[in-house]
Structure 1
Amino acid sequence: MPADQRTVRHLHVKAPRAEHARRLLPVLEDALRCASLGDAEGTRLLVVRRLALGPVAAGISAQALSRLIEQRSAEAVQHWVDATHATADTAACVAFSGALDARVQLALRLLRGQPCTAWYWPLAVPEYSAQADVATNLRVIAWTVARWPEARSALPAWLAAAVHAGQAAALAQAIGPALGPALVQQAGLGSVPAQPTDAVARPAHGPFARRGDLAHQAAPAAGPRAPLPPWLQHALRLAPPTWLPPTSAAPETAPLAPDLGAPPDSPAPVPAVAAPKPTRVRRRQSAPPRAQEQQTRAAPITPDLPEPGLPAKPAPQPLAQPPWREPTAWGGLLFLLPVLQRLQWPQWLDTQPADAGPRCTAMLLHLALRRLAAPPDDPLWQLALPLPPDEDLHVALAGWLADARRWLHRAGRLGLVTLARRPARVALTPTHVDLFFRLDQGNLRLRRLGLDLDPGWLPWLGRVVAFHYGDVP
């Protein structure tokens, strides 16, 4: 959690004298800036209701107080519950998969007319106001999402979740015809087409359709399907590529999911690409990946130090939740992204249609995973899209993958398998990819080439990518 986002709303200090309390305040401020409150835990969002530090020694240093805050924070998040659970209102710690997930869940509750008075909503979504009406809150949340660095993926994903839940008409009415195009422009999604299409709202695998992670989605509403406003159609067409459903076929034969906003029976558009000189790529079977580790329920971020007043009842035990960090044997695959950036892959994508970037990158990752012979249940397949039957596109992407492998060999004497075969845990959301490696997974050749540095927001992938090193179970 960045230091500029750490806010103490209520602070209770007991001291024998007032000057003792005044002396403690600057020490506490320094300790809060220095404390590691989930900084290496990815995008997972946990809100803590009350953080009791206990007795503090007189004259304590900022470093010692920082360690105490870290220890108490780690203890507080051990008994977290999901925001959708019945006990969330009385829990001491409530979990979301990220800032976007918190805003999706809150927006769906507002659209359905459900109460949103629980203590954790103002902490998880600071722009939310319990005194404002539903339309005002939805507009403020939408504008907040549209101003994020990853808004090009976050805003379409937020809108698609409401459409998938059957709330498209209510959402469009709340946003309004004037603010809708402004949101699209603010998020960097381009201008809204002048003429509306004949697209209709229909069920699809939404951006949150992970394996076993559909608890907060509702079935689309029954009845006739109304046309979507042009700005909403335009935003949904640019939504992140959908994730593989639980019962999907092998990645080589999985169909390409059509966009929301396309006519019901039409195939997904294939970006036109200029094919480079054909390159022969030999397939090489890699060794079978290491056995996957047992999945854990770790829940690590502690964003705020909020209000006091916990109930007297004991804290609930951790509940069985869908896996957050999924094990993968090919965690080093995304070290390929900085290589593509150095080969001017983003500049080549700029010459393609506007929405071709994330799709072409997902197809290139598909080719790489096929070459690595990654098992079909590896979570990194959720970042890939199978190639459509377009020979020119096949040749173009195979050429880029061959160039990347050639660069790796010349710069670091690394092969694709050597680069990618690194056991890790991966946390995927529609806007973020967080990879967690053990400390012994560090590599001098990768560090010398700068491949293990956080890429951050990549518009041509449609996600924020971060690499974390530490104790991984």
Structure 2
Amino acid sequence: MPSPCAASYHHVHRVHLWSTHAPLVQRGAILIEDALHTASLPTAERLVLVRQLQLGIIRSDRSSASLALTIEQQMAQLAGTAVYALDAAAVDAAMVYFNDALEPYYQLALRLALGFGLEAWFWPLAVRGWHRGMDRASGLRYVLQSLLQTESGSLAVVPLLQVLQEHHQLTALLQVLLPSDGAVLMQASGWPWPLSSLSQVASPSQLNPANQMLLSTWVQHWGSCDARSHWLAAILWVAENPGRVLASDVGERSRILVHQGIATLDMTSALLPPIETNPDEPFTSATAQAVAPFLSEDGAAPMPTPYPADESAQTQPTVALPHPIAPALQPLDAGRLPSACNNAVPPEQVALASVAPVLPPAQSSTCIAGTVGTDLPTHYGGFFFLLPLLNRLAIVSFLQSHPGAIEANFAQHLLRITANRLGIPQTDPIYQTLFSPDAWEPLPQWTIPAHWLNHQLISSPWKLRQTLIGSQLWDSSGQICLAQWQQAKAPTMVHRLLSRGREHIVKKPLITRAPAQWNGSSDPLLQTWQMALQRLCCRYGRMGLRRLVYRPGRLKFTRTHLDVTLPLEQAEVGIRRAGLDLNPGWVPWFGRVVQFHYQERR
């Protein structure tokens, strides 16, 4: 199955050809295939589904180029009548669309949870592999495993939890997970299971109070040694900071969070009224009233009239997912687990807390209601060309080797400070795609990626400087700090950098005063990365950051995708030569799939 996050993908579900002669049918199939490859079809800004395309009579002597023009003309006509898939008129529409490739998965899960009808023609096409023969539980679990197979991985599940939460249906998903699903979900998310008993976490882990209460409730239901408890803990931890998906100790942190959930439950269980929940029954509005009223940012969309639940939806499935996430695993045998793990509580005794919202409402805490999924004009459409630059500067390896930078949301701070330095006003929609992290706390110890030396961004000789906060290693220009540490002896990572650099170190202060705060930041780490961006842009793009960023265009963003559309005349040879307008695709530390498009002015 192709990834739903694929930047450019077209699929024809079925072709009907009729002729009295079999060779003519074969000839027509070849012409249609060539025409589809030749035709200029809609870009991948959104997922477009076409019910049928009438091509008429195809003569054997017709060229594929002329047939491609016919396809383009019919697609253009249908585009004018395209209907949003969640609109009531979509059932009879010839063309429907979703805002991105993952939205149908979230909306399908929501309708399964609510028990609404899914008779529209486009659902099996939008969520490939799902069919109406699946019962409610199997459908929800199939959506979950399909999202984990995308390039976004575990972060693609976070919007699913958000959508279900906004409509009071998060329990509907969690209650259909089988004990055997937990280990499969952990492994499909890229997290180890079973966990090693010797691993340790350098820094403590903690969820916000609402997420901690949610986790505590399900730890009580599943048990502290159930893999489902650890998977939920890891997902909630990553949801609060998408950059955490790059951390190497997510599994061990889930263990700490689960134990904290047990402690939280011990303190609050006496205050929580028990609510009877039956995983064999759909999650009803009566159960939802016991959970805090979570409201979506732009209000809940009107939903179709629900149909009576069929008998298949009333039966808890006892089989694995139709398409397993990973090789089949044996269900956990509670009788063979230590007594400390046999603490699961029967469903009828589970207390569902009435708590505040448990997940961030959207990718950006500054997102304005009603703007998600719409085109917004900007004068700084080239700002996101910085993402390929940062990837070229090995920001992923830097974050993975500096867990403190992940927790401090370093990448988001860097983007925001760069935007401020370039004079982008706070009213620009660019800020709606960025998080609003807490105040920046400088890291005490770090080194630049050794990969920078390959780009010749560092001028020599390097110079060592002693400061009040420790030792710093600067390049000869005094604008890039290569490393900072507080110990009397340089750590191993600094020695590795020196061995790569093969430069002569002058053991004397570079300057007698602090480096100039030309970028409005006194932190050498942020200053260093901004200067590296500037030098890399000049070296490969033959222009400065301001010229690169200042480009009128349009932004369209959803929970999982960001599409940047620029006028065709904004395409430059320098940018193309440097590869800055190549689609970054899935950017884990940014939390979205990013794509660039060039279009002629309309």
TM-score normalised per structure 2: 0.56
| Secondary structure, counterpart of 1:392 in structure 2 | coil
Of 132, 135, 141, the match for 1:133? 135
Match of 2:149 among 147, 166, 188: 147
C-alpha distance in 1, partners of 2:207/2:540? 51
Unpaired stretches in structure 2, ≥5 consecutive residues: 1-5, 198-204, 220-228, 243-256, 262-369, 444-520
SS of the residue corresponding to residue 376 of structure 1 reads: coil
Distance change (3 Å), C-alpha of 1:412 and 1:21: closer
Q: How does 1:227-376 map to 2 (within 5 A)?
A: 227=218, 229-239=229-239, 324-353=374-403, 356=406, 359-376=409-426
For residues 405-429 of structure 1, give each alpha carbon's deviation from its aligned partner in whole angstroms, at most 9, with x where no partner exists. Answer: 1332344442221110011112212
AA matched with 2:26: R
Q: Does 1:21 align with 2:71?
A: no
Alignment of 1:413-452 (within 5 A): 413-452=542-581
Cα separation, 1, equivalents of 2:439 and 2:74: 55
User: In 1, distance between residues paired with 2:194 and 2:383?
Assistant: 35
Tell me if 1:79 matches 2:81: yes
Output one character per residue of 1:123-167: Cα deviation in whole Å (capped at 9) or x when no partner.
111121111101111111111111111224212222332233322
With 359-368 and 16-25 compared, the bigger mean Cα shift is at 16-25
SS at match of 2:97: strand
Residue 354 of structure 1: CA displacement? 8.8
How big is the shift at 1:202? 6.7
- Between the aligned partners of 2:11 and 2:412, the Cα distance in structure 1 is 35
**Helix, strand or coil at the partner of 2:442:** helix
State the identity %: 34
Q: What's the CA shift string for 1:247-282, capped at 9, x where partnerless? A: xxxxxxxxxxxxx9999xxxxxxxxxxxxxxxxxxx
What secondary structure, in the 3-state scheme, does the structure 2 residue paired with 1:99 have?
Answer: coil
In structure 2, do the counterparts of structure 1 residues 93 and 421 end up closer, same or farther at CA, with 3 Å as the change threshold? Answer: same
**Matched residue, 2:529:** 400
Q: Name the residue aligned to 1:309.
A: none
The correspondence for 2:35, drawn from 8, 11, 31, is 31
SS in 1 for 2:239: coil
Q: Secondary structure at the match of 2:581?
A: coil
Asked if the contact 1:3/1:32 (under 8 Å) is kept, the reply is: no
> Relative contact order (C-alpha < 8 Å, sep 6+): which is higher?
1
Deviation (angstroms), 1:236: 2.7
Does the residue aligned with 1:238 lie in a helix, a strand or coil? helix
Q: What's the Cα RMSD here?
A: 3.6
| Aligned-partner Cα distance in 2 for 1:102–1:357 | 32
Change (3 A) 1:179 1:456: same
Contact 2:164–2:170, Cα closer than 8 Å, also in 1: yes
2:575–2:581 CA contact under 8 A, matched in 1: yes
The 2-side partners of 1:428 and 1:2 are apart by 14
Q: CA deviation at 1:193?
A: 7.7
List gaps (5 residues or longer) in structure 1: 204-219, 243-259, 264-319
Structure 1 contact 357–460 (Cα < 8 Å) conserved: no
1:173 alignment partner in structure 2: 175
- Quote how far apart the aligned CAs of 1:199 are: 7.0
Q: In the alignment, what sits opposite 1:8?
A: 13
The verdict on how the C-alpha distance between 1:236 and 1:66 changes in structure 2, with shifts beyond 3 A counting, is farther
The answer to whether the 8 Å contact 1:45/1:97 transfers is yes
Question: How many angstroms apart in 2 are the aligned matches of 1:386 and 1:452?
Answer: 26
Distance in structure 2 (CA, Å) of the matches to 1:323 and 1:459: 20
Q: Deviations over 1:7-59 (max 9, x none)?
A: 332x3445575543332122112222333332x342x0121112112343441
| CA shift for structure 1 position 332 | 0.7
- Pick closer, same or farther for the CA change 1:199–1:128 going to 2, 3 Å: farther
